[in-house]
């Protein structure tokens, strides 16, 4: 039986609600990712992780994957390259809120968002709190990057600053899930420099004791921040395995809690 929300009839959705099914909502965006990755990288990763999680959970709990949200908010700096579509942050937040409150009001009680775009973490966190207020349901937000961070740091070849945007993490994962759309012959290397120990490193190694966007401080020549040249399909497989293993463990905990 299909695990896609869109494949169900209303009657089948009622049965899923009755059984207390879990909904997964993958959220990426459409933006340039350098000359070597497609513009749908974030959305593609979000969908692939959601599908892999549904397979791993294997009906325990029953799980449906919603269609991904493929457009969102990116900083203006990314519009220098073709492919970046920007939805204003407040419009994005309202859009996500309405989609989530629709399924919660429909009767689904457990919803987890897969956040696969760095610029969305703040907006999504706020939306999840607003959903609690409005619908009395605690929506979870899981991030494959954070779930796989420990494993990635064990196998990575880039230095800190090598896995921010279009770098080793995303490129490795794309080599694992969609190698046909990755062009390694065009992969540049533009690691992020340290600007301050307070924001040192990258998404995976930085302690990020303050929030300070360094994207404007270090202009990128190629549209990326990181080092995709050291990416590998093995690293991508390790990332996916770690994200799915820890993600599934969390989601079972999330389901057990009412």
Tell me which residues touch Zn ion (CB under 5 A).
Answer: 42
Q: Tokens for 204, please give them.
A: 């995976």
Nearer to Zn ion, 42 or 202 (CB): 42
Least Å from the CB of residue 107 to Zn ion: 33
CB nearer to Zn ion: pick between 137 and 146: 146
Nearer to Zn ion, 25 or 131 (CB): 25
Quick one: which of 209, 187, 188 has its CA closest to 198?
209
Q: Are 237 and 176 in contact (CB under 8 A)?
A: yes
**Two structure tokens written together for 169:** 């993490």
- Residue showing tokens 């990326």: 224
Shortest Cβ distance from residue 37 to Zn ion (Å)?
8
CB of 167 closer than 8 Å to CB of 140: no
63's enclosing H/E stretch is: strand 63-65
Min CB(57)–Zn ion separation in Å: 25
Q: In terms of CB distance, is 8 or 214 closer to Zn ion?
A: 214
Residues in the chain: 258
Minimum distance from residue 170 beta carbon to Zn ion (Å): 5
Burial (CB count within 10 angstroms: exposed 0-12, middle 13-18, buried 19+), residue 30: buried
Residue number, 46 or 64, with CB nearest to Zn ion: 46
The H-assigned helical ranges of the chain are 10-18, 41-57, 89-106, 121-135, 144-147, 149-155, 168-177, 233-256
Q: Which residue is nearest to Zn ion (CB)?
A: 42
Q: Least distance from C-beta 117 to Zn ion, angstroms?
A: 6
How far, in Å, CA of 77 to CA of 182, rounded? 23
User: In the bound complex, what is the minimum distance in angstroms from residue 94's beta carbon to Zn ion?
Assistant: 23
Whose Cβ is closer to Zn ion: residue 226's or residue 247's?
226
């Amino acid at each position: 039986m299909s695990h896609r929300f869109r494949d169900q009839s209303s009657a089948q959705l009622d049965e899923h609600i009755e059984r207390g099914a879990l909904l997964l909502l993958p959220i990426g965006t459409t933006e340039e990712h350098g000359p070597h990755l497609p513009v749908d990288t974030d959305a593609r990763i979000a969908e692939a992780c959601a599908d892999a999680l549904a397979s791993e959970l294997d009906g325990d709990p029953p799980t449906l994957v919603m269609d991904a949200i493929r457009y969102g908010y990116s900083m203006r700096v990314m519009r220098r390259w073709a492919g970046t579509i920007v939805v204003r942050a407040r419009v994005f937040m309202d859009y996500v809120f309405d989609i989530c409150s629709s399924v919660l009001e429909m009767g689904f009680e457990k919803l987890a968002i897969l956040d696969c775009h760095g610029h969305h973490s703040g907006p999504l966190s706020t939306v999840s709190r607003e959903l609690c207020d409005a619908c009395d349901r605690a929506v979870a937000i899981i991030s494959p990057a954070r779930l796989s961070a420990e494993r990635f740091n064990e196998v990575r070849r880039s230095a800190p600053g090598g896995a921010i945007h279009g770098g080793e993490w995303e490129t490795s994962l794309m080599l694992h899930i969609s190698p046909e759309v990755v062009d390694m012959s065009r992969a540049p290397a533009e690691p992020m420099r340290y600007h301050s120990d307070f924001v040192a490193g990258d998404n995976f190694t930085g302690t990020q004791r303050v929030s300070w966007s360094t994207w404007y401080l270090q202009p990128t020549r190629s549209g990326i921040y990181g080092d995709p040249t050291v990416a590998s399909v093995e690293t991508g497989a390790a990332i996916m395995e770690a994200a799915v293993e820890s993600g599934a463990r969390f989601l079972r905990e999330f389901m057990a809690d009412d």
